[in-house]
Amino acid sequence: MKNMYLFLLSILSLLLKVSGTKDVVFGHNNFTEYQVGNMNLILSVPHGGSMEPKDIPDREAGCWDAKLSSCVFSHDCPPGSIQNYQKCKVSTNQDRYTIEVAQTLAEEINNITDGFFPHIIINHLQRFKMDANREKEEASFGIPQAEQAWEDYMGFLTTAKSQMSGGLILDIHGQAHPERWIELGYTLSKSSLNSGVFSASCSSISHLSNQLVNVSSETLVSGNRSLGKYIEEQNNNYVCVPSPSNPSPNNGSYYSGGYITKTFGSRTSGTIDAIQLELPQWVRAAEERPRFCKALARAVMKFWQTNYCSQYKHEFLPC
C-alpha cells in the first residue's frame, strides 16, 4: 500500500481536473474523490456515498470462526466458519447529507478566510458496498473493486497529509442517537471522559496537546479552548459532548472515534491531529444545514486560531 501512496503523490499534478475554483482528483471508477485544498485542514467524509455498483456485493455479516473466536470478513466463509449476524454483523447505514455538510462547511471557511479551502476527501460508495472507516478486510470483504476504492480513499488522506507539516482532520459522520447532540470524538473512551481521568496526549489530538504544554487536557478537550465550547458559543442549541456544558456523556450515547481518527490522527505518532464529528440528523437536514455550517465554520476557525496559530504563527495556513 505504501507504493500506492507514493504513486498517488507523484502523479497528483497530472490528474488534477479543474472543477469551479478547486482541483479535483477521482479514484478508480469515480468511487472516491479528493478536492485539493490550500490550507492545513482536511475534511473526511467516509459514509456519505450513494453509489451502488452491482459488481460489488452488499456487505452484511462476516463469518464467525469459533476456534479462533474471531470474525472473518468475507462473502465466502472459509472452512470452519459460518456467517453470523450477531457476532459479525457490520454497520451499513449511510450518513445522509454529510457530503453536503462538508461542501457547505468548506465554502463557509473559504468565506471567512478570504480564499482558503480545506482538503475534502469523499467516499461515493454506499456504506454497504465499502466502509471507508474500517480496516480493509471489514471494509471491503475481499472484493477487488471495494479494496481498490478503500486504498484510493486512504491514499488520498495520506496525500493530503503529505501537503502539510501539521494540521487537523475533521472526520464527518452522522448519528441518530436520542440525545440529538453533537459528539466530538478524540479516541478517548466514554468511561475515561466520565471519570475525568484522561490525557489529551493519548488522544487523536496528541500532537496539539504536546505543543500546548501550559494548557490542560480538560481545557483542550472539554473546556474553554475546546471545539465543543466554540460550537456551543455560536448557538446554544448546538449542544456538544465533550464541552463545558457536557464535559462527558454520562449515561448518554457517544462515539469516541473510529478507524480514520485513530489511524490518521496523532494518537500514536505524527503532527496531524484528528477529531471525529458525529452530527445529529437535524443539523444535517436542508433546513438547518446552512445555519449550522456557518456556525461550525466560525467555531472551527476559532479553535484553529486559538490553538494552532498561537503555536505555529504563519507556518499553518491561515493564521
Same domain, residue pair 251 and 152: no
Q: What is the secondary structure of the chain as a DSSP string?
A: -HHHHHHHHHHHHHH-EEETTEEEEE-GGG-EEEEE-SSSEEEEESS---B--TTSPPP-B-EEETTTTEEE--SSPPTTEEE-TTTSB------TTHHHHHHHHHHHHHHHHTS---EEEEE-B-TTT--TTS-HHHHHTT-HHHHHHHHHHHHHHHHHHHT-SSEEEEEEEEE--TT-PEEEE-S--HHHHHHT---GGGSTTHHHHHH-TTS-HHHHHTSTTSHHHHHHHH-TTS-EESSSS-SS-TTS------HHHHHHSSSSS-SEEEEEEEEEHHHHSTTTHHHHHHHHHHHHHHHHHHHTHHHHGGGSSP-
137 assigned to some structural domain: yes
Per-residue cell: 163: 501537503
Range scoring the smallest mean pLDDT among 1-10, 66-75, 206-215: 1-10
Give the tens place of pLDDT for each residue, 147-167. Answer: 999 999 999 999 999 999 999
Residue 1, pLDDT score:
54
167: left (phi over 0), alpha (psi -120 to 50) or beta: left
Q: Which of 115, 131, 162 is the last residue of a domain?
A: 162
Q: Residue 306: give the domain boundaries.
A: 167-313
150 assigned to some structural domain: yes
Q: What percent of the chain has pLDDT over 70?
A: 92
Give the tens place of pLDDT for each residue, 8-46. Answer: 554 454 344 434 457 999 999 999 999 999 999 999 999
Range scoring the smallest mean pLDDT among 5-9, 98-102, 229-233, 247-251: 5-9
Split into its structural domains, the chain has a count of 2
Range scoring the smallest mean pLDDT among 58-67, 233-242, 304-313: 304-313
Same domain, residue pair 213 and 305: yes
Residue 119, pLDDT score:
98
Under the banding of pLDDT at 50, 70 and 90, the label for residue 313 is low
Nearest Cα to Cα of residue 186 among 173, 199, 167: 199
83 assigned to some structural domain: no
76 assigned to some structural domain: no
Under the banding of pLDDT at 50, 70 and 90, the label for residue 317 is confident
Same domain, residue pair 194 and 143: no
How does strand 63-65 pair with strand 70-72?
antiparallel
Backbone angles phi, psi at 29, to 5 degrees: 60, 15
319 assigned to some structural domain: no
Same domain, residue pair 171 and 157: no
Residue 311, pLDDT score:
73
Per-residue cell: 292: 449550522
Per-residue cell: 34: 479528493
Average pLDDT, the chain: 94
Same domain, residue pair 276 and 222: yes
Same domain, residue pair 152 and 247: no
Residue 3, pLDDT score:
54
Same domain, residue pair 116 and 144: yes
pTM for this prediction: 0.94
> What residues contact residue 226 under an 8 Å CB cut-off, 6+ apart?
184, 219, 220, 242, 243, 244, 303
Residue 18, pLDDT score:
36
How does strand 41-45 pair with strand 167-175?
parallel
62 assigned to some structural domain: no
Per-residue cell: 197: 481521568
Same domain, residue pair 176 and 302: yes
Average pLDDT of 82-107? 98
Average pLDDT of 182-199? 98
Residue 66, pLDDT score:
96
Q: Which of 110, 143, 162 is the last residue of a domain?
A: 162
Same domain, residue pair 155 and 20: yes
260 assigned to some structural domain: yes
115 assigned to some structural domain: yes
Residue 19, pLDDT score:
40
Same domain, residue pair 147 and 178: no
Per-residue cell: 119: 482538503
Distance CA 69, CA 53 (A): 32
Quickly tell me which residue has 485544498 as its cell. Answer: 37
Same domain, residue pair 29 and 148: yes
Residue 218 has pLDDT above 90, yes or no: yes
Average pLDDT of 215-236? 98
Same domain, residue pair 37 and 171: no
Quickly tell me which residue has 464467525 as its cell. Answer: 64
Average pLDDT of 121-125? 99
Per-residue cell: 313: 504563527
Q: Which of 128, 144, 162 is the last residue of a domain?
A: 162
Average pLDDT of 142-147? 98
